[in-house]
Amino acid sequence: MQENTLNRFSARTLAFAATFAAMYTVLRLVPAFPMVGLPGASFSLSDAIAPLYGVILGPYVGGFSVVLGTFLAIGLGRPVSFMFLDFLPATINALSTGLLLKRKWKIVVSVYAVLLLAFLLNPLSLLLVELPIGDAKIVFPFNWMHIIAFLMLLTPIREKAFQWVKSPLAAQNYTTRPINFLLGRGYASEGLILHVAR
């Protein structure tokens, strides 16, 4: 009886993964806007839905669907941008979002810290930027948004987001605040991968 249930679960999981991978493939073939710094490369519509794969399918099945969808799109003619590592940013995005929803935030913080450190140690990374304001110049970190996203993962805001998502009030009001927080951490991880890969 237990083996039959396991086979049914595996078949259902495989069917979801294949269906979502096919949808990801189609959206991966539709260019959205150009990538700055990579001539001829562009983001695709699939980049906007990567964290939803982590939310809907979970971190592992969602990540697998993104990887499969990316390689299917490459097989159908999508140009390669990152030496066949094109799957990595969106996969990290889906994984991070899915893991955060499962409250496995320590894994996400660890991965994010490694990515942030890799970015900072990369000799090609732009570390500081100057913003001229009148006669003065303000110097701030190039990746200021990633640093803020990382710090937010370490604060009680992370725990509040979980409470907001699970509360009945959130379901009644369709509030997007907690989902935006969780999806934002996934996009921040994706952005770090893109910077490190360049």
Domains of the chain: 2-197 (1.10.1760)
Distance of alpha carbon 88 from alpha carbon 91, whole angstroms = 5
Identify any residues that bridge with 130 across adjacent strands, giving them in sequence order: 139
Extract long-range pairs of 10-17: CB within 8 Å, 24+ residues apart.
13/61, 16/57, 16/61, 16/65, 17/57, 17/61, 17/64, 17/65, 17/68
Across the chain, which distance is largest between two alpha carbons, in Å?
76
Are the CB atoms for 62 and 94 separated by under 8 Å? yes
Q: Which of 192, 174, 182, 175 is nearest to 157 (CA)?
A: 182
Identify any residues that bridge with 102 across adjacent strands, giving them in sequence order: none
For residue 185, the model assigns a pLDDT of 56
Give me the helix-helix angle, 87-101 and 50-57, nearest 10°. Answer: 40
- For 125, residues 6+ apart whose C-beta sits below 8 A from its C-beta are 119, 142, 143, 195, 196
Distance of alpha carbon 90 from alpha carbon 93, whole angstroms = 5
Tell me the pLDDT of the chain (198 aa) as tens digits: 455 544 556 888 889 999 999 999 999 999 888 877 667 777 888 888 888 898 889 999 999 999 999 999 999 988 777 777 888 888 988 898 888 888 888 898 898 888 888 888 888 878 888 888 888 888 888 888 888 888 888 887 777 766 666 665 555 454 455 555 555 555 566 655 555 544
Distance of alpha carbon 48 from alpha carbon 50, whole angstroms = 6
Distance of alpha carbon 62 from alpha carbon 57, whole angstroms = 5
For residue 48, the model assigns a pLDDT of 84
- The H-or-E segment that residue 138 falls in is strand 136-141
What stretches of 29-104 show up as alpha helix (H) in DSSP?
50-57, 59-75, 87-101
pTM, two decimal places: 0.75
Radius of gyration of the CA atoms of the chain, in A = 19
Exposure string for 38-66, b = 16+ CB within 10 A, e = fewer = eeeeeebebbebbbbbbbbbbbebbbbbb
